Amino acid sequence: MTQVADSKHERIARRQVDKFDARRTELAVATLHTLAELGYARTSLREIAQNSEFSHGVLHYYFADKRDLVTEAVRQYEAVCVTRYDDVVARATTAEQLRDEFVAMFFDTLAQDAPLHRLWYDLRNQSLFDETFRADVLEIDGRREDMVWRVVSRYAELSGGTLSVSPAVVYVTLDGIFHRALLHHLGGQADTVASLRHELPGVIALLAA
């Protein structure tokens, strides 16, 4: 009888934890755009609440502080982003198709989701000073590296090329281009963004020469 009661209590406890985690995810996603607009340095849970439909009390109940909320929000966003190119990789039958569709999506998402990408780079910079972010940032960075490697290694396979550099080097190369393009996009410097878009196919070809 005691074992049955204990099992029931465990199931109830698990459901409560699952519901709590689900609510955290819901709140993090719902406040993501507010976070992206304000940035890390200018936010507090109170300011986020004032710019969203949720009360400060609700946010404070589910998140210990703004670090907790920002990290969860970016984690949820990146969970989607790190697979954004997988369909491109899956349907590509030629290296040229893969390259062209990747470049198009690379710059489309840069323009469409610029505030969200800015939030990611903001968090990554903060992790240089605040070690509470570091493990999460390194995990997300690793998943982004894997995402880019899937694209470039498939391109090499389709083109008959050979990758002579590591996944880390491929990632920092393309991430550097993305970061620079994002900065100039936010600065209204369309010519620089267009130039980077024009040069990216050549960079991919060099990586998989």
Q: For residue 14, what pLDDT is reported? A: 59
| Confidence (pLDDT) at 37 | 84
* 31 HSE (CA, 13 A, CB side): 36
Distance CA 8, CA 16 (A): 12
CA distance 148 to 202: 16
Q: Which residue, among 19, 15, 24, has the nearest Cα to 60 in the 3D structure? A: 24
Nearest-angstrom CA–CA distance, 160 and 99? 14
Question: Which candidate, 174, 187, 7, 18, places its Cα nearest to that of 106?
Answer: 174
Q: pTM (2 decimals)?
A: 0.83
Answer whether CATH 1.10.357.10 is correct for domain 2-207: yes
d(CA 152, CA 206): 11
DSSP secondary structure string for all residues of 143-172: HHHHHHHHHHHHHHHHHT----S-HHHHHH
Q: Where are the alpha helices (DSSP H) in 63-166?
A: 66-81, 86-91, 95-112, 114-126, 131-159
Side chain identity at 45, as an amino acid letter?
A: L
Residues of the chain scoring pLDDT < 70: 1-17
In angstroms, the CA 186 to CA 52 distance is: 24
